Amino acid sequence: MANPASGFDLLSPVYDLLQKLFFGNSLVRAQNYFLAPPQKTGTVLVVGGGTGKILVEMLRQNIGQSYVYVDISKSMIRATKRRVRRYFKTEKADGARPRIQYVCADIGRMPLAKYDLVITPFVLDCFGDAALSLLIPKLAQALSRRGSWIFTDFHIAEGRPQPLARLLIRFLYFCFNRFCG
């Protein structure tokens, strides 16, 4: 089995291109759909945010006061840092910038604090059933008392045959299994 970190490191330079090629803007729209909270959130945990598009959107919407951005891939974290630097260079930021802590780690093996918002965009499907049975309770326990969890994942509505969508998702799973374990 391939090392997931090395697979995502290899995938990182072409990740956004492949996402756009296969799914257009639909994945970005899906992961951003529930982002706008009624009020500013304190601490935000982002798990597996890819190249950082979701983090930049949260910065744009002023969602959190501080962020912990966890990814298993050093290359994905580097891409996210570049994207965030570009965002702060081009946007006129009002007030203090939020604190962003980047953590390169397997989320299942790292200790977690309490968070007001947990975001898992298209990441839970990267785990098998055994790992999920441990990870989901761990993330739920990391939520503060009034915390929220936004997860986005692939779903094809029942009753609506969408052969192309099913084929693309199967191909995506094949590629991720092959290259990222």
Query: Which pLDDT tens digit goes with each residue over 33-82?
Result: 677 765 677 999 999 888 898 999 899 888 889 999 999 889 889 999 99
Confidence class for position 2, pLDDT limits 50, 70, 90: very low
Residue percentage of the chain with pLDDT more than 70? 65
Whether the CB-CB separation of 71 and 80 falls below 8 Å is answered with yes
Has residue 117 got a pLDDT over 50?
A: yes
Choose among 123, 126, 121, 108: nearest CA to 176: 126
Helix (H, G, I), strand (E, B) or coil at 180: helix
Whether the CB-CB separation of 45 and 118 falls below 8 Å is answered with yes
Residue whose token pair is 């935000």: 44
- 128-135 mean pLDDT: 91
Q: Residues 78-112, buried b or exposed e (16+ Cβ, 10 A)?
A: bbbbebbeebeeeeeeeeeebebebebeebeeeeb
Confidence class for position 177, pLDDT limits 50, 70, 90: low
- Check residue 88 and give left, alpha or beta (phi > 0: left; psi -120 to 50: alpha): alpha
Has residue 112 got a pLDDT over 90?
A: yes
Choose among 174, 130, 149, 131: nearest CA to 44: 149
Q: Calculate the alpha carbon distances from 53 to 19, 131, 144 in Å.
A: 12, 26, 25
Measured between alpha carbons, how far is 74 from 36 in angstroms, rounded to an integer?
Answer: 28
Q: What pLDDT score was predicted for residue 123?
A: 84
